[in-house]
Each structure stands twice: as structure tokens, then as C-alpha cells.
Structure 1
Amino acid sequence: ILNLALSLLQMHIQRKKNPDDLELLRGKAGRTFGHLAGVYCATKGLPSTYNKDLQESWEPMLDHVKTVSDRVQIANGILSTLKLRPERMIASLNPFLLATDVADALVKIFVPFRETHHISGRVVAKSEELGIPMDQLSLEQLQAIDSRFPDNIKDVFNYEASVESRNAQGGTSRAGVLEQIEVFKGMLN
């Protein structure tokens, strides 16, 4: 839950809060990347000594430093007052999030991904057609979509296992996230 002071309460939509500061943080990213591109263009092809055209790099650099400094303070305010509600997060999970896991399970038994992508799409379509969550389709219904579904295909409908299976560098597994936290701590120190 975002702190009310950090949200814009829209009076015409009762009880709806907009995360304005988060939206502005995202919006400022374009500005900072634009400044970076400007500095690259101004310094492209310069010899290694000082040139007058380097003065064009100062204005965007100083604005960038101020913008990032301001945004870090805002992000700190957001994160220090943020209240997480894990039970609501879990309740909002949708089995469609696991459509890629369905495709990955087929890839593991050597079905080409170019096929598994379409098979997974047919599973989603069948779920929508029947009006039931994807993880509630029976093994028989799944195998009617494609006979290559293994008997243990229902095991892929596990959110935690899905997150943990992404264990490459920068992935969503707990180890991957903790590794990234350490990388960013090192960058901040």
C-alpha cells in the first residue's frame, strides 16, 4: 500500500489512488537517457584533449545529476513507507502467468519451442473457452490439445517453482535476486 501522501487521490473516482511519484520516476528515465545520448553525441570522435564542444556536455550532466539525486530521495520516501500485503499479492496471481512454463515443460521433452509457443496459446484459449483457470484443466483436456503433454504437466502450475526455475544471472530465483542485491549494494557503496 502506498502512503497517501505519495499518491494523488482522484476525487472523481472514489478511493482510487494514483502512484504519481512512481509514474514520474519512470518518466524521468527517458530524460536521463536522453542526456546520456546527448553527451555521447557531443563527445563522439573527439581527440583525447580538451575541446570547446565539450562544454555542451556540462549542462545535461548537471541536470542529470540533479534529476537522479531528486529521484533517489523520492524513491527512498516511497520504499520507506511502502506496506506490502503478500496475501493480496498471492490472491491476485493468475494461472495465465504460467503459460511460458507450459511451453518450457514441453521444450524439456524435446518439443521445438516454435511449436510449444502455439500449444501453450491453445491451452490459454481452451481455458478461456471453458471459463476455468488454466491450472484447472484436466490432464485429459491438456492431452486433447496436444498428446505430447507428459503425465506430470500439472506440476508446472506452481508459482514458486516458476520463479525459482529462472536461475540464470539476473533471473527471478531467490539466489539470482540476492545476487543482484549484492551487485547493487556494491555499486552504491
Structure 2
Amino acid sequence: MFSRLKYVPRFLSYAVYGRSGADAEDIKRLVNEEQLSNVRVLGRQDKSLMNRLWSLCDVSLVHLRDTPLFSSVIPSKIFESMGMGLPMIIGVPEGEATAIVRDDHCGLVIQPEDEVAMVAAIENIYSDQTLRASLQENAINAANKYDRTRLAHDFLRSAEDVLRAESAKHAKGTEK
């Protein structure tokens, strides 16, 4: 999947992390076979390092295999990327994750396992400063929508509203 990255010389390096086990070994093998000196396989990283790693990125790639199982998955990297204001390239089966990225206009959606589309998306974001700036701004704005504290408060307010309505309904029914 990464072989075409060597044809994108303007980018200095790519870091691949979050993988472990057989997947990580397959990626390392591909990187070595293709002699991709601009790709580093970092593997899983401690959570305390993630903000620092994200801050080194210009764009994030959220990629999953093209299997039906992943159409219902929403990778947390989407929200981390938004929080860091990074435009993203997401290659996952169509589903909720692709809808989030499209609806919030914070990245480019490609077909999973399509390295030609991935390289084209990288080139597009790299070469179009207006697009890149728009995706960055939209990512930051979208991050606020998905803030866990805010979502928890919204849920609590909704639950309280339902309880008040039910309580009022019950009180009204007992007044007869």
C-alpha cells in the first residue's frame, strides 16, 4: 500500500503507528521491500506521547482494511486528528466514520486499500493551500462538536429534560 509514497518526494517522512503484531510486521516488510526511506514504522505509542507525535504531522491518514466489519467502526484517530487541527485522509469502508468526515468537511475520503487515491489525496492537500487551510479550520471546529465533556453535559441536560417532562406528566395525571 505504501509503495507509491516514494514517488511523492516533497514529503520528507511518514510515520506509521498504532499497529502491532502481524500488521506491523507486514508494514515493516513492505517498507523494506519497497525501500521507502521516507516511511518510519513506529508501532504502538504511549498515550502520553500522542500529542507530541500528532504535532509533527501535516496530515493524518486513517486507514482500515476494506471489510464490512469496519463499516460500523469510528476510529478514535478521527477525533484526535480533529483536535489537533489536522486535515485527514480517511480510507475506511463507507459508514459512520466517512459520514463524519464528509459532513464536517475536515478531510478527504478515499476507498480503503487504494494507494493511488491515497497518494493523490496527499498531493491534493499538499499542493492546495486553500483546501489545506479549510480542512484544518473545519477539523478544529468539528473537534468541539465531539468533545466528550460537552457531549456528556448535553446528554445529562437531555436526560433531565425527559425526567422533568415525565414528572410533570405524572403530576398532571394525579391532579384529576
> Which category describes the TM-score, using the shorter chain as reference length?
under 0.3
Q: What is the TM-score when the length of structure 1 is the normalising length?
A: 0.25
Q: Which has the higher strand share?
A: 2
Q: Point out which structure has higher relative CO (alpha carbons under 8 A, 6+ apart).
A: 2
Q: Which has the higher helix share?
A: 1
Decide which structure has the larger Cα Rg and report it: 1
